[in-house]
Structure 1
């Protein structure tokens, strides 16, 4: 939930250290294909995403390396199966592999093949090796995995995967993964795509000059935000967005220590769907914004205060919308209340673990902002400004990029 000034702390290799550190480092932690036709215009891919081959035009995977006997003692697990969603003219699958070495010796990880299981044949959507692979690997407990550093016995590593499909490419219904280990291969179980339907929502903010910050990219802190909550390692912020306003290239105008000088501050936030309020908290003060001199939260950070003033909506079907860091005394709803799509809920503030005024918004599987898994969503309609200053209309897409958006 931190703003972009803290991004350097949220590389993929830093996450496991944070997971193992407990509450002492909580401040650092927060810094199904849609029916509508995709837009023809495309945006740049987020860091860590790559375009897949079209499975209708590639041959069956060749045998390549021989399977080992006995099988390599490498567990290949997908904690949360991906669901296809549209963003920037592509369709995306965003998910993780957990690789655990159950053998009594090191395993040199040299490649990962993302395979489409179609027509009783495996076809290679994407092959990762060298820096393209190692930049996506984050060992639990720190360190690194590359050609000089194997996966040691008893250790695990997370592979952060993001596969983009051109608008006319076929998204497979099933995936498998083959991990190459210096001449031998270990193949994981079949992963069924599309367990969670993508909810098409109204925008939580309205008007112009909005930036959908910290979304999807692996070099931002949300996407690799693996964190143990409720006894499980989860990524509740997998698809979280920090909504900020930028006018004439600036996020604020005036005294950088005054929250009111930030263009997002006090902007209203709205219900993204007809829903039931399951949590509503108010009364926490705004922080003084972060400056080069540092940052100190107005109240001590804990699992209870991390999100600041907040509203959580039950969207139904096991999906919950979270609004965090709201302005003190602005929350206008209470738990148990039914709200209508477009109804005001509160205003953007700088409470909790927020360095700059912004709205942290996410959809996840639970009412706890950290003890849940992040789910993709789509905004029904919005305008996106391109690099040349022109506007394109987007429909039923996840908002991407650093360009200005309007609703």
Structure 2
């Protein structure tokens, strides 16, 4: 058993985590690139069969791919999960204009299992990303961000809940999503993952929303976090 580091949920609204340490460890099938305890977050249509993450039809998705703006989460705001200092902020890596299931999955598998930090560009995996130093040897990485969306720069101090970027599809991404992890180094290529839990969020259970504290969502949970919106509409 491990004691996770507690951070704030980095998104607002409803989300689903298909890859989470609440279901399996390593959550992404590998310990490379600091991903042992990493999360992926997407938005889905809970009323459609299969809970798709896009507005298009399944045949279009399989045969032709889907433009990024057809994904529910693309462009959604990302927030700082903790107080800290920005130590890396990369924002010039282009996103592919549309998804392609087979090529994206092949690319994801290749990078997850064969990435060589000695010769490969970490942006081929991370795309556009922000790394925040939270404490000594604790870094938060927010990855695959939308090109041109990053709101912070290296050396900047951020507070928990600050708007820092938008969900994108850059780098090693099977579809627009936020990849989030804590790690022991600011260098993704050599970092070890660190376990983390979220200080508060809700899950939809038995027809109602249930508050969760210092918890780790599973891949069966419908997640919601609205506190930021509530605070700013008072």
Q: How would you bin the TM-score normalised by the shorter chain? A: 0.7 to 0.9
8 Å contact from structure 1 (residues 276, 313) kept in 2:
yes
Stretches of structure 2 that go unaligned for 5 or more consecutive residues are 226-234
Distance 1:364 1:293, change over 3 A: closer
| Aligned residue number for residue 180 of structure 1 | none
Shift of residue 368, structure 1, vs aligned partner: 1.7
| Aligned residue number for residue 50 of structure 1 | none
1:187-214 per-position Cα deviation (integer Å, ceiling 9, x unaligned): xxxxxxxxxxx33211110112x01221
C-alpha distance in 2, partners of 1:294/1:281? Answer: 24
8 Å contact from structure 2 (residues 68, 99) kept in 1:
no
8 Å contact from structure 2 (residues 88, 130) kept in 1:
yes
Q: TM-score, normalization: structure 1?
A: 0.46
Distance 1:223 1:329, change over 3 A: closer
| Aligned residue number for residue 38 of structure 1 | none
| Aligned residue number for residue 30 of structure 2 | 225
Does residue 264 of structure 1 match 2:73?
A: yes
| Aligned residue number for residue 190 of structure 2 | 371
1:292-324 per-position Cα deviation (integer Å, ceiling 9, x unaligned): 553487xx9833311000000000131100000
- Count of aligned pairs between the two proteins: 201
Shift of residue 355, structure 1, vs aligned partner: 1.6
Does residue 398 of structure 1 match 2:216?
A: yes
C-alpha distance in 2, partners of 1:288/1:402? Answer: 30
| Aligned residue number for residue 2 of structure 2 | 83
Q: Which has the higher contact order (CA 8 A, sep 6+)?
A: 2
Shift of residue 285, structure 1, vs aligned partner: 1.1
1:131-176 per-position Cα deviation (integer Å, ceiling 9, x unaligned): xxxxxxxxxxxxxxxxxxxxxxxxxxxxxxxxxxxxxxxxxxxxxx
| Aligned residue number for residue 100 of structure 2 | 291
Does residue 205 of structure 1 match 2:11?
A: yes
C-alpha distance in 1, partners of 2:52/2:162? Answer: 29
Give the one of 140, 145, 148 matched to 1:326.
145
Shift of residue 402, structure 1, vs aligned partner: 2.5
Deviates more, 1:237-246 or 1:288-297: 288-297
Does residue 244 of structure 1 match 2:47?
A: no
C-alpha distance in 2, partners of 1:379/1:342? Answer: 13
C-alpha distance in 1, partners of 2:54/2:189? Answer: 29
Shift of residue 378, structure 1, vs aligned partner: 1.7
8 Å contact from structure 1 (residues 289, 357) kept in 2:
no
8 Å contact from structure 2 (residues 67, 99) kept in 1:
no
1:30-53 per-position Cα deviation (integer Å, ceiling 9, x unaligned): xxxxxxxxxxxxxxxxxxxxxxxx
| Aligned residue number for residue 170 of structure 1 | none
Shift of residue 348, structure 1, vs aligned partner: 0.5
8 Å contact from structure 2 (residues 31, 193) kept in 1:
no
Give the one of 121, 127, 136 matched to 1:303.
121
| Aligned residue number for residue 344 of structure 1 | 163
Shift of residue 365, structure 1, vs aligned partner: 0.6
> Larger % of helix: which?
2
Shift of residue 241, structure 1, vs aligned partner: 0.4
8 Å contact from structure 1 (residues 287, 354) kept in 2:
no
| Aligned residue number for residue 199 of structure 2 | 380
